[in-house]
Amino acid sequence: MMKFEGVYTALVTPFRNGEVDYEALKKLVELQIAGNVSGIVPVGTTGESPTLSPEEHLKVIETVVQVSAGRCQVIAGTGANSTQEAVYLTAEAREIGADASLQVTPYYNKPTQEGLYRHFSTVADKVGLPIVLYNVPGRSGVPIAETTVARLAKNPVIRAVKEAAGSVDRVSTILDLCDITVLSGDDSLTLPMISVGAKGIISVTSNIVPGEMSAMVKAALAGDFATALQYHRKYYPFFRDQFIETNPIPIKAAMAMVGLMAEEYRLPLCELSPEHREKLAATMKRCGIL
């Protein structure tokens, strides 16, 4: 049984001159592995999956799988608001060699809880690749109810849930209802979620400080919350300010500031505003990142 525990980086997708910058992507994967992350999550929300073509989507996953070469887990973002598309992308990711898939709640079409149950169950049953559910109602418009998570947890293919609804209480409710691994979806809530039973974080911050995030989570999982809290307090201003505009705009700006990649987005996302850029740079200096 695959174990999900530790830091999983929701990897950005670097662009240059309108195209995916695969050479920069390879370097980012190596940076993550050097930072001792448990895994990498390509082409999720942070990877700007909505604006990648199907061919690019799969090539990014393939590149991450090839470069990581078994040195960490790869949880491929292959969710969609079409069940048929989610099945296709997940099956392709399995063929490429991904270890698991991240399945976002179908967005915009606002399915019922029964529809969500059938959607995730269909992807699990037709493909068989281990699934991490992704609850993010702020983007999808619909939450995965705790009782629906419990129903889905009975499927042996569905192993974990990424909780990005901003609620620590949901972690306790889910773990009271079923046996499933919970991963935080918010960097700032990593410690409180671990304190009530979560096993790690699918992190945006670890794009730029993977080693520090890994150390924080390792300490927390070992019960050393005093050490973990030191990391949390040091990086909390950055946790906060990486969402001063829509993710992944601030994190890509931050990574460009330290020379990890070009700062480039695809519309409808665009560059960070000047006032927010100034604030983000000041926060990075305060946290010792810049």
Which distant-in-sequence residues (6+ apart) come within 8 Å of 21 by Cβ? 14, 15, 261, 262
* 108 in Cβ contact with 79 (< 8 Å): no
Marked catalytic residue, from 134, 231, 235, 265:
134
Catalytic residue among 8, 88, 117, 162: 162
Q: Dihedral of the CA atoms 183, 188, 189, 190 (nearest 10)?
A: 50
HEC profile for 173-241?
HHHHHCCCEEEECCHHHHHHHHHCCCCEEEECHHHCCHHHHHHHHHHHHCCCHHHHHHHHHHHHHHHHH
DSSP helix/strand/coil, 128: coil
Q: State how far the Cα of 129 lies from the Cα of 157, in Å rounded to an integer.
A: 7
b/e sequence 19-37, b meaning 16+ C-beta within 10 Å: ebbbebbbebbebbbebeb
Q: Is 65 within 8 Å of 74 (Cβ atoms)?
A: yes
Q: Is 236 annotated in the active site?
A: no
For residues 282 and 275, give the distance between their C-alpha atoms in angstroms, rounded to a whole number: 11
**279: annotated active-site residue:** no
What CA–CA distance (Å, rounded) separates 141 from 200?
25
Active-site annotation, residues: 134, 162
